Amino acid sequence: MILFFDEDMGTAIPRFLKGADRDVDVRWLRAQFPNESDPRRQDVEWLAEAGQQGWLVISCNKRMLSVIYERQAILQHKVGIVYFASGQVSRLPMMRALLRKWDWLKAADLSEPRPFAYYLYANGRTRQLSP
């Protein structure tokens, strides 16, 4: 599984998780696409890459589902994505929620038909969304 963290997640969590599980490759936006400068074009491009490569995206940017060109990229490229349900959650509760749902993330990555979208709450609860 490849977990891909977008820029809204920062780098602390993906850096911490990198190497934590030999079955999981952790990547983040600025390390994967260091030279992009237009955020609108960049979102569509990395969403396309994520879908084509089968990466599981982790994001705080739930707005992607309402921005037409980003939603189209998610659907067209069959992106699997998990959104943190609250943008106000600090990094420690996010980390706890990810670790608590680690096996669920791996199972969703393997078995969930794409495209798919879920909310992940700080308490570890999940809710499926319609991409």
Question: DSSP characters for 59-79?
Answer: ES-GGGGTSHHHHHHHHHTT-
> Over 90: is that where the pLDDT of 109 sits?
yes
Output the pLDDT for position 85: 80
pLDDT digits (tens, 9 = 90+) for 69-106: 999 999 999 999 999 886 666 888 889 999 999 999 99
pTM above 0.85, yes or no: yes
**How far does CA 61 lie from the centroid of its chain?**
9
Exposed, middle or buried, 123 (CB in 10 Å: 0-12/13-18/19+)?
exposed
Q: How far is residue 52's CA from residue 30's CA, in Å, rounded to a whole number?
A: 19
Specify whether the CB–CB gap between 91 and 54 falls below 8 A.
no
pLDDT digits (tens, 9 = 90+) for 23-56: 999 999 888 877 766 555 578 999 999 999 999 9
